[in-house]
Amino acid sequence: MRPFHTLYNKILDWSSSRFAIFWLSLISFLESSILPYPIQDLLLASMSLKNRSKAYYFATICTISSVLGAITGYFIGVYAINFIMPMLDKLNYLPELYSAEQLFNNYGVLIILIAGFSPIPYKLFTISAGMMSMPLLPFVAFSIIARGARYFLISLLVRKFGKKTDAWLNKYIDRLGYLLIIVVALGIWYVY
């Protein structure tokens, strides 16, 4: 069973569609606010592979859409805290919330840089940044840096290695997908 290979082939279909830019924008936006898996990387790589001269253009679209999604996730967090604060108080989790808020106050920029570049689901951090009242301007600035670095690196690798990138993804996509699930599960386990 190769579920990620099937998803990869579907993404390849999207990248060939006349709506490829729309799919890239939408998926990049949603990944930073609600989607659980970062599939925009595969779509970006596929689109860049099909049209290498536009690879950096696609990376720019991906970055802008992702940062707009991150801002949406941030405001989800800003408003969600008002709904969950009574529940956290009832469950005696307010000390943990204040500890997390202190972490964001001290290391928020570093957290956003690492989360924005890594394969960890970014929406966990965009929503948390809003909940922890991280200042919006640094959040946006460092989201641009981290997401831009990630997407431009993907485009650079595709431009440099071309078909080898596609062959490598085709061979290892299922292992990468399962690895991502394990990383997410361990992250959730660690947090709780």
Question: What integer pLDDT is reported at residue 105 of this predicted model?
Answer: 79
Question: What integer pLDDT is reported at residue 190 of this predicted model?
Answer: 61
Pairwise CA distance, residues 62 & 72, whole Å: 15
Report the first-to-last Cα separation within the chain, whole angstroms: 31
Count other Cβ atoms within 10 Å, centred on residue 98: 11
pLDDT tens for each residue of the chain, 192 residues long:
565 666 666 776 767 778 899 999 999 999 898 877 777 888 888 888 888 889 999 999 999 999 999 999 999 999 988 888 888 778 887 787 787 788 777 877 888 877 887 777 788 889 889 988 899 999 999 999 989 988 998 888 888 887 776 666 656 655 665 666 676 566 656 655
- H or E segment to which residue 71 belongs: helix 55-90
Cα dihedral sign, 9-13-16-19: negative
Question: What integer pLDDT is reported at residue 164 of this predicted model?
Answer: 75
Question: What integer pLDDT is reported at residue 72 of this predicted model?
Answer: 96
Question: What integer pLDDT is reported at residue 30 of this predicted model?
Answer: 92
Pairwise CA distance, residues 37 & 80, whole Å: 22
Residue 14 phi, psi (nearest 5) = -60, -40
Question: What integer pLDDT is reported at residue 175 of this predicted model?
Answer: 64
Question: What integer pLDDT is reported at residue 78 of this predicted model?
Answer: 93
Q: Which amino acid is at 38?
A: P
